[in-house]
C-alpha cells in the first residue's frame, strides 16, 4: 500500500514512511492510494474475532509489506494489554441506544485506542531504522494525555504537547502535567485550541525546522491514528448485529476535529454496513453547518463549552473528506483550501452537497441540552454519560438504531456531571490521585516563534 497527499505534491510513500512523516511535505494529509474493499463473507468471518485479532485484520491491507505480520501482531498485543476491559471497546445497551465504551484505556479516553498503538509503532520503527523522533501535537483535552501515555519513558522519543490554558478540564491538565518522565514536555498556550493547532501546522509546514528537529505528528493528521480508530466501528457492528452483513447500523459520533467520524467514513468505504454517520457537535458547529448547507465557514469565535474536546472551529481531518468527496482531485482540494485560507469559507453545491447529506446527518447540541441529556439518561437508566458522549446521544434522538460513541469516562468532567445530576461520577483506577499531584508545564503566548524557541531549548537542555 502506498500513501499520497491530498494536495498531490509529493511522491507516494510506504506505510512506515507515512507514519513517520505525519503531515505531508506539501501541507496536505496522507491518504491510501486505494481503500481495500471487505466483502460480506469476510465481514461475517471477522465478526467473531476478539478486538486484537480484528485490529490485525483491518490494519494489514493498509500496511502491506512495511511491517512483518508477526511484528504487527506483537505490536497490537502489547498496545492493548494496558486496557482495563477484556473487550477493549465493549458495547452496552443503555435505554434505547447502544453505547460504545471507548474509555477503558490508561487515560480513560478513546484516544488511547490509537495512541497506545502509535507509541509502540513509533518505537518499533525507530529501533529498526535508527534515529530519534520529537513528537509535536496540539490537544483540546484528551489527545495530549493519551499521546503522552503512549510514549512516556520510551527511548529515542521526546513529546511536546500544546494545550489551551484554562480551556481543558483540571483533571485532563493533571494527566499531562504530573508525569515525572523526562521526555514529556507539556506547553500551556494562552489561547484557544485552534491557536495551538495553527502553531503545530505552521511548524510542520516549516520544512527546515521540521527536518532539523525531526518532528513527528501524533494528532489525527497521522494516518495511523485514523486506521486504529476504524477498528472499533467493525467491532461494535459485529457485537450489535451478530455479524449479519444484511444488518446496517448508524453511529453517532461526537466530534470537533473530524478524525473519529472520518474513521467511521473509512470503515463504510471499506464495506461496513453503516446506514448513517451522525456528526454531533456542540455550539462550535462548523461541521454541522457544512452538512446542512454545504458551507464550511469559520464562526465568530471558538466558544467554551461543557464538552471542551469539541471546542474547535477548523477541523483538521476535513481535508481528507474533501479529497474523497472530489474523487481524489487534488487540484480542486488545493483550490478549496486556498479559498478557505483567504476568506474563512468554502462551499460545495449540487451533487456534491447531496453526497455529503447522504454520507452524514448532523446536529449541534447546546450546553443546556447536554446537561439535560446527562440528567435524563441517569434518571432513567442510572448510567452516567460524559458531556461529549451526551452530545452524541442527544444528536441521535431520531436514530433509534444508532450506536453512540462514549469518548471519555464521565469522571474526567465531574464539574459538568455534578451540575447535571448533583453527584460526581466515581473515578476509575487510572484517574485516582491525579489532582493531588503537582503540575509541571511551560506557559507561552500563542506565538509560533516562542514555541519554536522552547522546543529548540528543550532539546539542547
Q: Apex CA 236: angle with CA 233 and CA 239, to 5°?
A: 150
Q: Are the C-beta atoms of residues 38 and 270 closer than 8 Å to each other?
A: yes
Give the separation between CA 199 and CA 138, rounded to whole angstroms: 8
Give the separation between CA 32 and CA 349, rounded to whole angstroms: 26
Helix (H, G, I), strand (E, B) or coil at 279: strand
State the catalytic residue, choosing from 93, 111, 201, 210.
111
Q: Does residue 111 have an active-site annotation?
A: yes
Give the separation between CA 122 and CA 234, rounded to whole angstroms: 25
Alpha helices (H) along 326-409: 330-343, 350-359, 367-381, 387-395
Break the chain down into helix, strand, coil percent, rounded to 5: 50, 15, 35
Q: Apex CA 407: angle with CA 340 and CA 393, to 5°?
A: 90
Give the separation between CA 68 and CA 59, rounded to whole angstroms: 12
Closest residue by Cα to residue 109 from 397, 386, 425, 434: 386
Q: Give 345's strand partners.
A: 297
First to last CA, the chain: 40
The C-alpha torsion from 229 through 235 and 240 to 241, rounded to 10°, is 120
Task: Give the residue numbers marked as catalytic.
Answer: 111
Amino acid at each position: 500500500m502506498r500513501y499520497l497527499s491530498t494536495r498531490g505534491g509529493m511522491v507516494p510513500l510506504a506505510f512506515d514512511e507515512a507514519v513517520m512523516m505525519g503531515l505531508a511535505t506539501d501541507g496536505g494529509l496522507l491518504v491510501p492510494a486505494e481503500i481495500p474493499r471487505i466483502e460480506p463473507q469476510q465481514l461475517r468471518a471477522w465478526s467473531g474475532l476478539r478486538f486484537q485479532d480484528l485490529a490485525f485484520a483491518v490494519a494489514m491491507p493498509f500496511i502491506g509489506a512495511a511491517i512483518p505480520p508477526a511484528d504487527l501482531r506483537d505490536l497490537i498485543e502489547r498496545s492493548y494489554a494496558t486496557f482495563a476491559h477484556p473487550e477493549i471497546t465493549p458495547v452496552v445497551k443503555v435505554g434505547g441506544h447502544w453505547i460504545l465504551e471507548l474509555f477503558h484505556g490508561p487515560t480513560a479516553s478513546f484516544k488511547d485506542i490509537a495512541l497506545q498503538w502509535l507509541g509502540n509503532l513509533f518505537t518499533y520503527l525507530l529501533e529498526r531504522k535508527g534515529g530519534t523522533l520529537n513528537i509535536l501535537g496540539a490537544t483540546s483535552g484528551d489527545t495530549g494525555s493519551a499521546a503522552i501515555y503512549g510514549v512516556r519513558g520510551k527511548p529515542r522519543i521526546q513529546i511536546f504537547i500544546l494545550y489551551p490554558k484554562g480551556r481543558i478540564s483540571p483533571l485532563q491538565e493533571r494527566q499531562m502535567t504530573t508525569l515525572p518522565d523526562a521526555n514529556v514536555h507539556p506547553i500551556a498556550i494562552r489561547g484557544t485550541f485552534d491557536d495551538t493547532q495553527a502553531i503545530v501546522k505552521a511548524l510542520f509546514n516549516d520544512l527546515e525546522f521540521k527536518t532539523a528537529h525531526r518532528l513527528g505528528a501524533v494528532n489525527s493528521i497521522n494516518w495511523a491514528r485514523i486506521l486504529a480508530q476504524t477498528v472499533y466501528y467493525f467491532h461494535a457492528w459485529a457485537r450489535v448485529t451478530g455479524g449479519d452483513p444484511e444488518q446496517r447500523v448508524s453511529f453517532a459520533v461526537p466530534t470537533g476535529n473530524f478524525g473519529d467520524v472520518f474513521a467511521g467514513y473509512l470503515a463504510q468505504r471499506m464495506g461496513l454496513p453503516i446506514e448513517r454517520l451522525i456528526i454531533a457537535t456542540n455550539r462550535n458547529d462548523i461541521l454541522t453547518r457544512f452538512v446542512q448547507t454545504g458551507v464550511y465557514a469559520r464562526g465568530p469565535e471558538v466558544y467554551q463549552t461543557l464538552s471542551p474536546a469539541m471546542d474547535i472551529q477548523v477541523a483538521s481531518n476535513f481535508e481528507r473528506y474533501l479529497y474523497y468527496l472530489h474523487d481524489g482531485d487534488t487540484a480542486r482540494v488545493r483550490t478549496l483550501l486556498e479559498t478557505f485560507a483567504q476568506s474563512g469559507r468554502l462551499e460545495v453545491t449540487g451533487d456534491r452537497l447531496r453526497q455529503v447529506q447522504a454520507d452524514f446527518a448532523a446536529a449541534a447540541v447546546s450546553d443546556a441540552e447536554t446537561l439535560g441529556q446527562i440528567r435524563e439518561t441517569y434518571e432513567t437508566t442510572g448510567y452516567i454519560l460524559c458531556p461529549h458522549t451526551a452530545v452524541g446521544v442527544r444528536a441521535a434522538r431520531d436514530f433509534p438504531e444508532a450506536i453512540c460513541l462514549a469518548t471519555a469516562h464521565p469522571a474526567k468532567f465531574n464539574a459538568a456531571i455534578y451540575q447535571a445530576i448533583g453527584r460526581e461520577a466515581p473515578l476509575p483506577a487510572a484517574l485516582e490521585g491525579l489532582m493531588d499531584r503537582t503540575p509541571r508545564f511551560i506557559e507561552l503566548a500563542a506565538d509560533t516563534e516562542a514555541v519554536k524557541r522552547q522546543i529548540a531549548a528543550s532539546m539542547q537542555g
